Amino acid sequence: MNIIQKRLVSSYATLVMAEVMTIEEVPETKLIGSIEYPIRSEVEIEIAKRTIEVLG
C-alpha cells in the first residue's frame, strides 16, 4: 500500500467511524495513478484494527 492509499483509507475510516458517511458510500475501488486499488475492503480492515486497539 502506497502513501496515497494509506491516507485515503485512513480518511475514509475516520469518516465512517464518525458516522459522517456509511461504509456503502466508500468506493469499492479507486484509481490512483494508473492502478486501481481496493479501498472499501481496506477501510473495513482499518476500522476493525482501530476497534480492536481501543478494546485491547
pLDDT, average across residues 33-49: 94
At residue 32 the predicted structure's pLDDT band, cuts being 50, 70 and 90, is confident
Higher pLDDT, 56 or 21: 21
pTM to 2 decimals?
0.89
- Domain range summary for the chain, segments of one domain joined by +: 3-55
HEC readout, the chain: CCHHHHHHHHHHHHHHHCCCCCHHHCCCEEEECCEEEECHHHHHHHHHHHHHHHHC
What pLDDT, in 10s, does the model give residues 14-29? 999 999 999 999 999 9
